[in-house]
Amino acid sequence: MFRFVMCVLCATAFAMPAAAQSAKPSAKETPDKLSGGPRPQISARVPPTISFRSKYAPGTILIDTKRRRLLYVRSRSRAYLYPITVGRLGFQWTGTKRISAKRNWPDWRPPAKMRERKPNLPKLMTGGLYNPLGAKALYLGSSLYRIHGTNNAKSIGQAASSGCFRMHNTHVAHLAKIAKVGTKVVVMNALPSRLARSFAKQPDQQITSTQRRRSEPRRRAAPRKRSLAWRRAILGLN
């Protein structure tokens, strides 16, 4: 069984949206197990394609930490460009990994050391709209890090995690479709200026309310066994 791991601060900055129309009855909740909520269908959203002439092989993922961008190399001259969240100061890293697994609506299991610091955290939070890992996760080797979605669109473009890379749910759905297990992921402080010329001066691409309405499933309020206030309290977010 694949061993789930969690980057430490990925849980501290996520939104808790209302249940979706496709909500299913959740499993019984306990202090040790928390439901992640509904798992609606997330449609993939294609990011912009930019000019990118490099020697990187097609199919390579590049992460520019300084500019908070993820690139998927399509060819020797083109690449997809995604805005992302990177590690906060002191939690950034560089190196080369490979995608070891992909998961839809991944569960979250906070490490024991994290639960020692925050006793209110559950041992397990099932995947869903309340889960900080979002709709999909791409695991990076055997490390603690992953590329994953987020239910808090406002965090995109910031240095806020402890080493993981967050994407809009619609974007991570797209990346997961084209990036296979074994895909090479190169994390660097910054791409050379000549390679980043086509996007270096662009502002962070925050998703707008209109884009969110078009790309995310419609949601309506539904009866919940536990209130959102309770969820925030149990996670220590109040």
* C-alpha to C-alpha distance for 114 and 80, rounded to whole angstroms: 35
Assess whether 148 carries a catalytic annotation: yes
Assess whether 10 carries a catalytic annotation: no
Q: What is the 3-state secondary structure (H, E, C) of the chain?
A: CCCCCCCCCCCCCCCCCCCECCCCCCCCCECCEECCCCCCCCCCCCCCEEECCCCCCCCCEEEECCCCEEEEECCCCEEEEEECEEECCCCCCCEEEEEEEEEECCCECCCHHHHHHCCCCCCEECCCCCCCCCCEEEEECCCCCEEEEECCHHHCCCEEECCCEEEEHHHHHHHHHHCCCCCEEEEECCCCHHHHCCCCCCCCCCCCHHHHHHHCCCECCCCCCCCHHHHHHHCCCC
Rounded alpha-carbon distances, angstroms, from residue 3 to 112, 141, 169, 222:
14, 11, 23, 33
Question: Catalytic pick from 7, 10, 148, 168?
Answer: 148
CA 66 to chain centre: 18
Question: Catalytic pick from 7, 10, 164, 174?
Answer: 164
By annotation, the residues acting in catalysis are: 148, 164
